[in-house]
Amino acid sequence: MIDARGQSCPIPVVMVQEAVKREGFPAELRVLVDARVCVENITRFASFQGYTVSVEEASGEYTMTLKRK
């Protein structure tokens, strides 16, 4: 799980990129962020890399689940 709460873009996207490279395109990856713009940017990156993205929002925090297609 990547905890990118408190980070502004592009840092959360870079954290996801590094995790994908390091873990060799994992089947599933969870990401925590607290800014809607980060959700949008990570979703764009993940879709381009062949992941589907689901998002759950609670109290201004977002839990993103990226799954390989």
Q: What is the CATH number of the domain that holds 56?
A: 3.30.110.40
**Number of domains, the chain:** 1
- pTM more than 0.85: yes
From first to last of the 69 residues of the chain, give the pLDDT tens digit. 999 999 999 999 999 999 999 988 889 999 999 999 999 999 999 999 999 999 999 999 999 999 998
Domain housing 32: 2-68
Q: What are phi and psi of 9, to 5 degrees?
A: -65, 145
SS3 33: strand
